[in-house]
Structure 1
Amino acid sequence: MNLASPFSLTLCAITGLAFLGLPVGHAMIAGTIFYLWMAGLDMGTAAEQFLNGMFSNYIILAVPLFILAAELMNIGSMTQRLVVFCNAFVGRFHGGLAQVNVVQSVIFAGMSGSAIADAAGPGKVMISMMTTDNKYPTSYAAAVTAATAVLGPIIPPSIPMIIYALVSDASIGYLFLAGVVPGLLMALLMMILISFQSRRRNYPVEPPTPLRALPGITRRAFPVLMMPVVLLGGIYSGITTPTEAAAVAAAYALLIATLLYRSVSWAEFYRSMLASARTSASIGMLIAGALVFNYVVTVENIPQTIKALLLGWDLSPISFLLLVNGILLLLGCLLEGTTIILVILPVFLPTAAALGIDSVHFGVICVVNIMLGLVTPPYGLLLFIMTRIAQVPLRALVRDILPFLFCAVLTLALMTFSSDLVLWLPRVFGYAG
């Protein structure tokens, strides 16, 4: 690559602006305008790509709607009812509250599609419960919470999968289905690990819930438990598109929290709308910046160049997936997940297609890689969130999360070597891949 070429200087400009503190989305837009100026192209092309990309993709609307649904669930009493329900069924096992943490994350994953929403809502409740009376070390409670929050975007619905569908044209419905088995497998491995650790460290078992109390607990949590059914049932019955299902999820969460549970004040509702708007705007700018920058990548023919290079290496599909795993795991330690999906993955997609790798299989593998980046030292975003929520040193948190990271990497390895693990459920529902 010519270091004085417009593309090289553009990459330097984007990197420099990002290091100076400019949001990555803004940096990509500024870098693209710089490229168009140096290349002698119409600088209005940046606005054209932005408008065409943002306003012609109906699917993007699902992102702010799922974010709003997660915020509404966190401000109501839905989270507490979910935790009580999970505790009634798995709290009696070894590592009771840690097991509850995993199960509630699996259920909450069927509602929010966001790892950060899981960590900030139910995760905060679980840390408080686990550390009361010194039942568990604070670092361990934070590690379990961060590790299980990763399940949120793997088990449907999933905001990263929606963004992947935007760049790959893969079916959102089949991507959602493909995440179910890997997500449940990862959760199972984590529960086995917790059971083993709890026996060794003598962590407490919660008092068993009397059988007569189970119907009442289930009844109070039933509207919350129905949310994944309403959401995914609408998608797979054909009644709603994924975007419409996201709107239904937000409306359902609002109705349950306000009319049924009556647990949301006007001030809390305003704060949740404000938080949702801020998060959505942040993601929206990343998407906009990536759509504009991807025009530069296309003009420079980068995907086809890399495709020719990788095919020249004569890689097998498995070798290519292992290479992508290594690159994404490394990048996940340094970059935000949405940026990786929007900027890095389009470069690999042509090669994956040329090697005959299914786009749904590839997408789920990439999403799992990116989620692992959230809990991978040194810059995993969830690690920093947990240090603030739980007030624990990063070193102690990293020490306790490494065994859970091993469970996630083991799941990723199984997915890489066995596409059937990922594609079995989509094929049951008619996927031809």
Structure 2
Amino acid sequence: MNLASPFSITIVVITALALLGLPIGLSMIVGSTLYLLLVGADMGTVAEQFLNGMYSNYIILAVPLFVLAAEFMNIGSMTERLLTFCNLLVGRFRGGLAQVNIVQSIVFAGMSGSAIADAAGSGRMMQNMMTREGRYTPSYAAALTAVTAIIGPIFPPSIPMVIYALVSDASIGYLFIAGMVPGLLMAVLQMVQVAITARRKNFPVEAPVPLRQVPVITWRAFPALMMPVVLLGCIYSGIATPTEAAALAAAYALVISAVLYRSISRAAFYDALKISSKTTASIGMLIGGALVFNYVVTIENIPETLRAILTHWQLSPVGFLILVNVVLLLLGCVLEGTAILLIIVPVFIPTAQALGIDMVHFGVMVVVNIMLGLVTPPYGLLLFIMTKISGAPIRDIISDTLPFLGWMVLSLMIITFFPDFVLWLPRLMGYQG
């Protein structure tokens, strides 16, 4: 590649601006604008690509609505009731509170669709519960909360899967269904690791919940537990599209928290709207920047060039999937997941389609891989979030995270090499892929 070419200069500018602290979305917009200037193209193309991409994709609207649903859950008492219910299920085992952390990640996975939202919401409460009275070290609690949070975007609903559907045209509904079994696999493997560590370190056993309290705890949590049922039921019955179901999820969380549980104040409601708006603006700017940069990538014919190179290498579908996993795992150590989905993954999609790789299977593999990047040093966004929440040194959190990473890589290998493991449930629901 010519280092003095407009595209090379664009890459250097985007990288330099990002390293200097400019948000990656804005960096891509500035770099793409510079590219159009250098090649003598119409500068208005930037605005055209930004607006057409943002306002013609109805699916993007699901992202802010899922974020809003998560915020309504966090400000109400839904989170506390669900955590109490999870403790009822697994709290009595050795290391029971650690197992509760994993189970709550499965429960909350059907509500927010965001690993960061899970870590900042229910994860913050789990951190406080686990470290109370010195039952667990802050670093172990933080590491466990981080690795359990990555399960959320693999179960439906999933914001990363919504974004993948945006760039691949894969079915959101079948992507959501395909994430269920891999998500359960990751949760089970995490529970195995907790059980091993609990026996070795003699983790505490929580007091069992009296039998007479079981109906009360279950009844108190029942409306919150019904949220994913309502959400997924609307999608898979055809009553609502995923975007409309996201709106229903936000409305349901608000009604349950405000009317039934009576746990939302006006100030909390305003804060939820403000936080959701900021998060949405951040994600929206990143998506917009990626849409503009992807236009530049298309002009440069990068996807076709890559496909020609890979065809020359004569990679088999399995060899291609291994290559994609290695590239994404390396990039996940230094890049934010949404940026990878919007910039890197579209480059691989034409080759994957040419090799006959199922787009739903490919999407689940990609999302799982990118979620691993959230807890992989040195970047590991969730690691830094939990460092801020827990106050534990980052090196201690990384040390406690490593045993879980081994199990997560094992689940990624199973997902990669056994497509039927991912696709049997969607096929059961009518998927023809």
TM-score, with structure 2 as normaliser: 0.99
What displacement does 1:401 show? 0.7
Distance 2:336 2:136 in 1: 31
What displacement does 1:274 show? 0.5
Report Cα offsets for 1:310-337 as digits up to 9, x if no partner. Answer: 1111111111111111110111111111
Report Cα offsets for 1:154-195 as digits up to 9, x if no partner. Answer: 011000000000000000000001100000000001111111
Aligned to 2:199: 199
Aligned to 1:129: 129
What letter is aligned with 1:240? A
Give the aligned length: 433
Distance 1:284 1:74 in 2: 22
Correspondence 1:176-215 to 2 at 5 A: 176-215=176-215
Aligned to 1:260: 260
Distance 1:141 1:54 in 2: 39
Report Cα offsets for 1:245-288 as digits up to 9, x if no partner. Answer: 00000000000111111111111111111000000000000000
Once superposed, which parts of structure 1, at least 4 consecutive aligned residues long, lie more than 2 Å away?
Answer: none
Aligned to 1:18: 18
Report Cα offsets for 1:389-408 as digits up to 9, x if no partner. Answer: 01000111001011111111
What displacement does 1:96 show? 0.3
2:117 is equivalent to residue 117 of structure 1: yes
Aligned to 1:340: 340
Aligned to 2:7: 7
What displacement does 1:238 show? 0.3
Report Cα offsets for 1:53-74 as digits up to 9, x if no partner. Answer: 0110000000000000001101
2:233 is equivalent to residue 233 of structure 1: yes
Distance 2:284 2:5 in 1: 29
What letter is aligned with 1:332? G
Distance 1:277 1:355 in 2: 40
Provide structure 2 residue ranges, at least 5 long, that are not aligned to the other structure: none
What letter is aligned with 1:422? V
Aligned to 1:317: 317
What displacement does 1:4 show? 0.9
Stretch deviating more after TM superposition (166-175 or 129-138) = 129-138
What displacement does 1:139 show? 0.8
Correspondence 1:104-183 to 2 at 5 A: 104-183=104-183
What letter is aligned with 1:408? M
Provide structure 1 residue ranges, at least 5 long, that are not aligned to the other structure: none
What displacement does 1:200 show? 1.1
What letter is aligned with 2:195? S
- 3-state DSSP class of the match of 1:113? coil
Aligned to 2:360: 360
2:94 is equivalent to residue 91 of structure 1: no
Aligned to 2:280: 280
What letter is aligned with 2:123? G
What letter is aligned with 1:138? P
Distance 2:142 2:22 in 1: 30
Aligned to 1:67: 67
What letter is aligned with 1:300? E
Distance 2:313 2:292 in 1: 30
What displacement does 1:49 show? 0.8
Distance 2:283 2:89 in 1: 37
Aligned to 1:251: 251
TM-score, with structure 1 as normaliser: 0.99
What displacement does 1:102 show? 0.3
Distance 1:39 1:155 in 2: 44
Distance 1:89 1:14 in 2: 49
What displacement does 1:51 show? 1.1
What displacement does 1:93 show? 1.3
Aligned to 2:350: 350
What letter is aligned with 1:315? L
Distance 1:19 1:130 in 2: 36
What displacement does 1:202 show? 0.5
What letter is aligned with 1:155? F
Distance 2:316 2:218 in 1: 50
